[in-house]
Every structure is written in C-alpha cells, then in structure tokens.
Amino acid sequence: VIGHPKYQESKRIAIFLSMPDEIQTEEIIKDIFKQGKECFIPRYKPHSNHMDMLKLSSAEDISSLTLTSWNILQPSDDDSVREEALAGGGLDLIFMPGLGFDKKGNRLGRGKGYYDTYLERCMKHPSGKPYTIALAFKEQICKSVPVTENDVQLDEILYEDC
C-alpha cells in the first residue's frame, strides 16, 4: 500500500479503522501522518446510509474516539470541530473495506450502502470522485459478488499475491 503510486501522489486520504476481521490499517494511518498527508475516517449515522469522512489530527487522535454499538471507533455525533472532507478540498483516495470482492471491481459491503452513498456525494464535489482501493485478504476475492444499480465499482483491489 505504502509504495502504491496512487497513495504516494494523494494528499487527502480516507481510510477505515479496521475491525478484527479486516485488513489492519493502523500502520497505514501512521504512515499517512508521517508523510504529511491529511487523514479522514468514517463516521456512520445509525439508522441511515449516511456517512461522513472526518479529519483525524494525528494517529494518536484515534484513542479519543468513541466505540459504536457495532464496535467501530468513530468521532462522536456531537463532534462538530473536525473537518468533513467534502466541506473542504474533497478526497484524492479512499481505502475501502468489504466482505467480498470480484475482479471486475465489485464490492460486497455490510449492506447499508454507506460507501456507495458517500461516493455519489463525492461525484458532486468540485474535486470529483476519489480513486478507490479496497484492502482485502485473497480469501475475499470471489468469482462474482451480487450488485445493484446503486453499487459503485472500485478502481482497484489490493490483496496478497495480486
């Protein structure tokens, strides 16, 4: 990931805070700050498909986040001081999680449509749609995954031995 050309050229990067069964992102987050890039993480709104990407001030800032009922760390609902990526300069790159992926760039998420809805919002931003890279285990690569007309295809899927 760290040597990837899109990562190297990106200044504003959104990345998920990994759950135990996902590719671990902690070292990537540390590198984002080490390289002087801006880091944004998801804040999911419960009972909806709305998600914002809020700015982290440092890798250590993660320890100030609250744990949701889904066991995901995220900025609290009343945190209004963090920049939302689309309120500023948009995003260059989004690292995306998922349950399964196919080699056509389709992604099976957890069913709420958060990332697809967010990417639709990105397409309306002056900076346009960011490059999307899924981080996956090779076991998550399937022949095909179910898609709907609202699903946004990934630009790339990174996994072991790809």
- Annotated binding-site members for substrate: 17, 22
Look at residue 104 and give its three-state secondary structure: coil
DSSP 8-state code for residue 52: E
Binding-site residues from annotation: 17, 22, 107-115
Q: How far apart are CA 113 and CA 20, in angstroms?
A: 21
Token pair 């285990």 is at which residue?
137
Binding-site residues from annotation for ATP: 107-115
> What are phi and psi for residue 136, nearest 5 degrees?
-140, 160
Amino acid present at 104 = K
